[in-house]
Every structure is written in C-alpha cells, then in structure tokens.
Chain A
Amino acid sequence: MSFSSPPTTSHFTERLTLHYDPALKRNRLNQIANAIAAFFAALAVVPLFLVLIYVLIQGGRLLSLQLLTQLPPAPGLEGGGIGNAIIGTIVVTLIASLIAIPVGVGGGVYLSEYAQNGWFSKFVRFGNDVLAGVPSIICGVFIYSLIVATRIFFDQSFSAMAGGIALSVLMLPTVIKTTYEGLLLVPQEMRMGAYGVGASRFVTITQITLPAAFTPIATGVVLGIARAAGETAPLIFTALFSPFWPEGLFNPIATMSVLIFNFAIMPYEAQNELAWAASFVLVIMILGANLLARWISHASRS
C-alpha cells in the first residue's frame, strides 16, 4: 500500500511563496488592466491639451491693444477687435450675478437655517436639481417668450437685460446648492453660541453662520459666474448681438460667446480669426476664475 499525496498538494506547496510573480496569469491581467486605465486617462487629457494649445496659439498670436479696444469689422474687411464683446460679456454676467447671487444665497439660507425637513424644502431641493438639469437653450426659449416677445422693458425686444436674466436662471441652482451645502457644514455649536449670547436669528445668520461658510459659498459662486460667462445658448435670442458699442441695458448687446458662434460660421477669414481671439480671451478669463475658486478653497484649508 503506497501513500500518495494528492497531486494538488505538491502543486500548492510549490506555489506557496509570498514573492510577487509577474508571470502569474492574474498579475499579467493586472498589468494589462493598468495599461488600459493609463491609456484611457491619457485619452481624456489629450483633447484638453489640443483645445488649449490651439486656443492659445491661434488666439494668442492675435492679441493686441487694438483687439481689446476696437469694434469688429464689417464682413469682408480686415482688422478690428472685440472690445464691445468683452464689455458685453462683463455687463451680461454682472446682471446675472446681481440677480442670482442674492436670490440664491437667500434661498440656500432658508433651506439650511429655517426650513423644517418638510414637503416645501424637499420640493425646493428637488426643483433645484431639476432646474440645474434644464438645458440652457430652454432657458433662452423661456426668457425669449417671457421678456423678448412680450417687450416688457420699455417696448424693447432683445436686450442685455434679457440676456442677463436668462443667465441668472442658469446660475441660480448652482448658488443655492453651494450655499445650502456650505451652511450645512457649519457646526451647530456656533449657532447655539450666538443664540446663547443673545443674538437674534437674523444677526446669527448674517454675522456668524454665513461668514463661517464663506469659503464654500465663494468657491461655488465663482465657478457659477465662470460657467455663466461662457454660456452661449441662452444669449443667442435674448441678448442677440450688436456690432456696435453697448447702448444701455435695454438694447441688444454683443457678448464674446455669441461672437464666437456668429463669426465661426462666417465664410470670412478675418471673422474666423476674431472668433479664435475671443476664445482666447474667454478661456483665459474662465480658467482664471476656476483657478481663483481653487485658490479660495485651498487658502482657507491651509
């Protein structure tokens, strides 16, 4: 009678080593999976580099004082600049911010500081998420029907005001959400302390709670402004476009984003060049705002 161990055991003891063996099937599969993930990451970063490089080179080489201070040329002519569009973008974004930031911060304050977790606050938070998902072109259609077609403002149809209001509809959900979430992070003890020394609710919120949540709110607001500044779809048929300098808030106004759209599809070289130049200015502004937001949140953490 011979005693034989099962063949698997000898195989098992052979393999019983803690050394990493790259030839193992599982380790080879892991290497392949690592490579695929790295490839995908490279694939995701490449378009960013390409877009940035083209915008910086194509747009940057046109940068001049004339570009920033002159009006766009008539179709077919050379030269000119995008001065009116730069001012227009600032004006329209400013209108949007002046509406969306107070309303959004107020709404966020109500949700976080006053609302019981009842149907109203659930409805508002749900509605906020839905509003954030409404396509920007629908915002344009909405403001067109509400303000432009009805000529509410002094019988003017297309206006900078209408464009700014359309952008504020887009900004509002971002501001509410960041305010609400920022205020939730403020420790309850701070509010208790304020009440304890006799502060009223209003004083507590404006002097204690909101300043404590300044960083997350400011970060979100800056990102919201940056996003609004680059939006085009809500402006095409609200703010429209104008080849002239801005003529007040109740007239059509040029913006960089609409200028890029209009000039990109024109068959003129000079206009296409200006579209690249406007992209350069817009991208620099928006990336600057993003880095500013990042810096705000970073500076307070360290």
Chain B
Amino acid sequence: MRSAPPIDAYTLRRRPPQEKLIDLGFRQLTLVMAASVGIVLLAIFFTVFGGAREAMATFGLKFLTTSAWDPVNEQYGALIAIYGTLVTSVLSLTIAVPIGLGTAIFITEDLLPSRLRDVIGLLVELLAAIPSVVLGLWAIFVMEPAIRPFLSLLHTTLGWTPFFATEPQGPGTAPAVLILVVMVLPIITAIARDALNQVPIELRQGAYGVGTTRWGAIFNVILPAAVSSIMGGVMLSLGRAMGETMAVTMIIGNSLNFSVSLLAPGNTIASMLANQFGEADGIQVSALMYAAVVLMILTFVVNVLAQWIVRRLSLRY
C-alpha cells in the first residue's frame, strides 16, 4: 500500500501580498475611472450653472420670454434662440422620421437582394460619419443655392402665411432644417433598422399565416412590436438635433431679430454659443451660459425620456 502524499502537496498556493495589492489597486483604479463619468457630468452641470448664476439673478425667467439681445445696454433674452432650437429640431424630425422609417423598412424587408440592401445600409451609416462642419460647408455652397428657387416658389405661393412671409435671401431657418434632416436621417434609420431586425421572425410568420399582406404585417404586427425602440431612437435624434451646432450655425444666418418666417434668418442656442462665446465678456458670458443651461435641460429631458420610453413601452411578446 502506498502511503498518502504529505499533506503539504494539497495546500493551495498562498497569494503573495503584492499580487493581492495589484488586484486591489486595479479594482480601485477602474472604480475611479467608472466614477469619472459621474464626476465629469456633475462638473459640467455645476460649471455651466455656476457661470449662469449672475445672468439668472439679473434676468430671471424673463430671459426665456424676451428677445432682446443687446450687448450695449446689457439686456439679454433668449427667446429667438429657444424658439429657433425648438422649431428647427421638431420640423427636421417631422420630415426625417417618415423618410428614415421608410428606409429602414425598405432595407429590412426582402424587396431587394440582400447584397443591395446591405449596400444601402452601409451608405446610410457612412452618412452618419460625415462631420457636421462638412455638411455645413456643403449646405452653404451647394444646397442653399440649389433650393433657393424652390423656397422662392414657396414664398410666392404661400407668402400670405406668416411662415413664408419673407423673401428667401441665402441663409435661413428652412435650409437649416433641411441640413438637420440630412444629419438625423442616418441615426433614425440605423436605430429603426436595428429595432425592426429584433422583431422575432415568429410574429411575421404568424401574420402571414393568417393571410395578411406584407404591409398588413408591417403596420399591424411588426411596427407595433418595435415601436418602443423606434420612439426611443426618435427622441435621441431629437436631442441630437437640438444640440447640433456646426451645420446649423453655418446656414441659419444667426439673426438677432425675431421672425416667425422659416425663410428668414434665425438662430439656435447652440449656434449663438458658437458665434458669440469666444468674444463675449462680462454679463454676456453669463447670459450665454444661461442659454447653455436651457439647452442642457432641454436635451437632458429629451434623452431621459428616450431611455424611459425604451424601458417602459417595450412590448412583451
């Protein structure tokens, strides 16, 4: 009979203290790195709020409802910019959502050979990668001159409504809306495509099984099943459109006079910041910070709403 090996052979290797130290140190290091997200977020919040305090005390809530922007007399109101931000983002989404959704349906259905569908999907994704400043350049020199006859036509036929009451003369709200459409289209399309691809194949098979047509299945089964992700994506794009700076700044005209007309130059909070922040001093900096606070709150609400929609409205199937 063989004797049992000495008990020492079975004892586990003791971890040397430096190994424990590395383990613990690495854990703490990554903890700090993860916490940095929260720190940066709070820092952004407090910095911008802190900078805006002076203007908040001086102008109060009147800042949101008046449209004076007068550095000489130190009177500031952000109504033009807030109105411009909301109008451009909402209008561009109204145009981009049907187009993006249609494109997403088109490239998730089997209407084309899959090779071709992948190419369209790739092209739309590449469009998302083009920097907004390049789109702005394109908007100034190519798009705006090209669409001006069309905008003039709008003015002559619909000029009696306040929205088209002014003669189009280069930069304005309408071209800014169109370039925003180009910018948010790929986002909406990509998110809607992912959402539609996630719908289980059984739902579609079931719909076809009871005898519906392709579009019967799309409208009654597939879209309702994907609606929460699509809505979330739409809200995300809305946030992106509100905060978009460069392309809009280059084409909107940066007007300081209020005009309801879409053909007249306008302004947004982001483009006001881009144009004036570098050269501002005194209370103008604070007023711009106040406008930045408004923009931050707007995008924050929209983004949180987007997350909430995705989590709460998702269908259980």
Residues of A within 8 A of B (CB): 26-27, 29-30, 33-34, 36-41, 43-45, 47-52, 54-55, 58, 102-104, 106-111, 113-115, 120-121, 123-124, 126-131, 133-142, 144-146, 169, 172-173, 176, 198, 200-202, 205, 223, 226-227, 229-233, 236-237, 240, 257, 260-261, 264-265, 272, 275-276, 279, 282-283, 286-287, 290, 294
Contact = CB atoms under 8 A, between A and B. Distances in A.
Nearest to B291: A141
Given A115-B34, A133-B302, 6 more contacts: A30-B214, A45-B124, A130-B303, A136-B243, A137-B273, A294-B122
Given A44-B124, A110-B31, A135 B270 contact: yes
Interface in B88-142: 98-103, 105-107, 109, 111, 120, 122-127, 129-138, 140-142
A266 B146 CA distance: 20
A29 B249 CA distance: 42
Interface string B10-27: 000101000100110011
Interface residues of B, number: 91
A99 to B, nearest CB: 10
Contact of B37 (A49, A50, A128, A233): A128
Contact of B103 (A44, A201, A227, A230): A44
A107 B29 CA distance: 9
A109 B236 CA distance: 26
A275 B137 contact: yes
B179 to A, nearest CB: 9
A33 B214 CA distance: 10
Contacts of B134: 51, 55, 230, 260, 279, 282-283
Contact of A173 (B19, B37, B244): B37
Contact of A133 (B51, B122, B131, B239): B239
B180 to A, nearest CB: 12
Contacts, number: 269
Contacts of B31: 110, 114
Interface string B256-276: 000000000000001001100
Interface stretch (B41-49, B153-161, B202-210): B41-49
Contacts of A202: 19, 22-23, 26
B130 A131 contact: no
Which of B31, B48, B131, B186 counts the most chain A CB atoms within 10 A?
B131
